[in-house]
Chain A
């Protein structure tokens, strides 16, 4: 560790505590706003995952299959990729279910009602992709003994499309926020380091190498970013808990038991790293701007 550079940074910190405090608070503010976006997106994603219903479908069997053949088909469907469970229903069972739904308007009494085939009802696993449903449909349709396969998957493609769009918009907004925050931080640090311009020039005239000037800037960026990351995460956590409590009381009907969740460890770590990177980026931008201007 470059202790001399840390000491020089610490010396500057103790001589201008307010200036550094303002700097840390600026980064904290930027990270907090970014964190709100991240928490919002994270919660939306969680909510979307919860509401993700399973795709169901029906395989219509050819009339007159032997019990062994039906068992064989059932086994092959249950073992197929993406299938959560399958249930065999013969035509009587199907008609009785229809009876219970339609009552007096039952198809059993309608001419042609006897044409209903035996079926295997299939329920797919969660988060199955439209392409997988398509592949499964094609493979089942080819099996001898199955006359037709029908999955209610039209909505699934729409659902995935919408989720993809929202995800893209969310990520784009976060990247935009990050760039905007970086620029704010770089400009703020630029203003602050303007006072150091002379110092850099003088130190260079005394024979300082680039690294001697660069290191305090790097440490400043790292430590201020780290500090801002910790403060903003703490503030974000407190805000999330408070808002979750408020929402559960005030908007219980809307949220229906869904509690606001805080960022996971990876996401929280990412936010901290983003803080450090933004502060570091700000420091380096200023440093290289000065370097290019000085002789």
Chain B
């Protein structure tokens, strides 16, 4: 199996003839790599993550994730692909009517896992994110940082090989943001490929990793942590 987890080749995404979100983007990510996608507002970070999560399709070029070409993937196969990839949203996207436990167990319910396996996995990830004692609480009773932890727990409970996060610290104070990034580090150390879209330079300095900088939809800098 190739050591490359993600391969983008001359990817472009255009919403109209005037509006282009990504242009000629090419890069590879190795299995187990940790990378930041950075850039200012409108640089194309979120679009890139949406393409990687198959929420949108590239207008041009090819995107290979785990040797699967997302640009030609039939719509009916997208749901299977999404089960292999975790996604953490800036606004958490937790279901307020479900408890923390139920929110985290949802991806496993979708996969029709047994109750024992669900329980084992959910309790495991909840203790990993430090919320083992809040399983029966509802999301709205948690702080922003705790809600983001729940969202991370939900994204990793299915043991994804690739974890994508869109501005996961955007709504959090600096101390909570550091805690969340430490958590991503921990998850990365367990062998998961992690891609985080952020514009928080302090965090990137504190937790150095490869940085792909976008500007007007193009990669203008690709810097490994060793080069910093």
A binding-site residues for B, Cβ under 8 Å:
4, 11-12, 15-16, 198-199, 202-209, 212, 295
26 contacts between A and B (CB under 8 A): A12-B97, A15-B97, A198-B93, A202-B93, A202-B95, A203-B106, A204-B79, A205-B53, A205-B55, A205-B82, A206-B82, A206-B83, A206-B106, A206-B110, A206-B154, A207-B79, A207-B80, A207-B81, A207-B82, A207-B110, A207-B111, A208-B110, A209-B79, A212-B110, A295-B55, A295-B56
A-side contacts of B28, CB under 8 Å? none
List the 9 closest A-B pairs by CB distance, nearest first.
A207-B83, A207-B82, A208-B110, A207-B79, A206-B107, A202-B93, A209-B79, A199-B95, A212-B110
Beyond A16-B97, A205-B93, A206-B83, 11 extra complex contacts between A and B, CB < 8 Å = A4-B112, A11-B102, A198-B93, A199-B95, A202-B95, A203-B106, A203-B110, A205-B53, A206-B82, A206-B154, A207-B81
Q: Number of contacting residues on B, CB 8 A?
A: 20
B-side contacts of A4, CB under 8 Å? 109, 112
Asked whether, in the complex, the Cβ of A208 is within 8 Å of the Cβ of B95, the reply is no
**Measured CA separation A4–B102 after assembly (Å):** 13
Shortest Cβ distance from B25 into chain A, in angstroms? Answer: 21
B-side contacts of A12, CB under 8 Å? 97
Asked whether, in the complex, the Cβ of A207 is within 8 Å of the Cβ of B107, the reply is yes
Nearest A residue (CB) for B94: A202
Residues 90-130 of chain B, each 1 if its beta carbon lies under 8 Å from chain A, else 0 = 00010101000010001101111000000000000000000
Nearest B residue (CB) for A209: B79
Nearest A residue (CB) for B50: A295
Q: Choose among A11, A15, A205, A295 the residue that contacts B87 (Cβ–Cβ < 8 A).
A: A205
B-side contacts of A208, CB under 8 Å? 79, 110
A-side contacts of B87, CB under 8 Å? 205
Shortest Cβ distance from B180 into chain A, in angstroms? Answer: 20
A-side contacts of B81, CB under 8 Å? 207
Shortest Cβ distance from A237 into chain B, in angstroms? Answer: 37
Shortest Cβ distance from A291 into chain B, in angstroms? Answer: 12
B-side contacts of A204, CB under 8 Å? 79
**Measured CA separation A209–B109 after assembly (Å):** 12
> In the complex, which residues 37-93 of chain B have their Cβ closer than 8 Å to any Cβ of chain A?
53, 55-56, 79-83, 87, 93
Shortest Cβ distance from A198 into chain B, in angstroms? Answer: 8
Shortest Cβ distance from A72 into chain B, in angstroms? Answer: 79
Nearest A residue (CB) for B109: A4
**Measured CA separation A209–B76 after assembly (Å):** 9
B-side contacts of A199, CB under 8 Å? 95, 97
Nearest B residue (CB) for A204: B79
A-side contacts of B83, CB under 8 Å? 206-207
Shortest Cβ distance from A233 into chain B, in angstroms? Answer: 32
B-side contacts of A11, CB under 8 Å? 102
Nearest B residue (CB) for A199: B95
A-side contacts of B56, CB under 8 Å? 295
**Measured CA separation A266–B134 after assembly (Å):** 53
Shortest Cβ distance from A20 into chain B, in angstroms? Answer: 13
Shortest Cβ distance from A147 into chain B, in angstroms? Answer: 81
A-side contacts of B102, CB under 8 Å? 11
**Measured CA separation A15–B109 after assembly (Å):** 19
Shortest Cβ distance from B110 into chain A, in angstroms? Answer: 5
Shortest Cβ distance from B17 into chain A, in angstroms? Answer: 22
Nearest A residue (CB) for B76: A209
**Measured CA separation A195–B58 after assembly (Å):** 31
Shortest Cβ distance from A26 into chain B, in angstroms? Answer: 21
A-side contacts of B109, CB under 8 Å? 4
A-side contacts of B80, CB under 8 Å? 207
**Measured CA separation A206–B160 after assembly (Å):** 11
**Measured CA separation A207–B154 after assembly (Å):** 12
**Measured CA separation A35–B97 after assembly (Å):** 36
**Measured CA separation A294–B224 after assembly (Å):** 38
Shortest Cβ distance from B53 into chain A, in angstroms? Answer: 8
A-side contacts of B55, CB under 8 Å? 205, 295
B-side contacts of A212, CB under 8 Å? 110
**Measured CA separation A154–B83 after assembly (Å):** 76
**Measured CA separation A188–B97 after assembly (Å):** 20
> In the complex, which residues 166-185 of chain B have their Cβ closer than 8 Å to any Cβ of chain A?
none
**Measured CA separation A198–B103 after assembly (Å):** 13
A-side contacts of B154, CB under 8 Å? 206
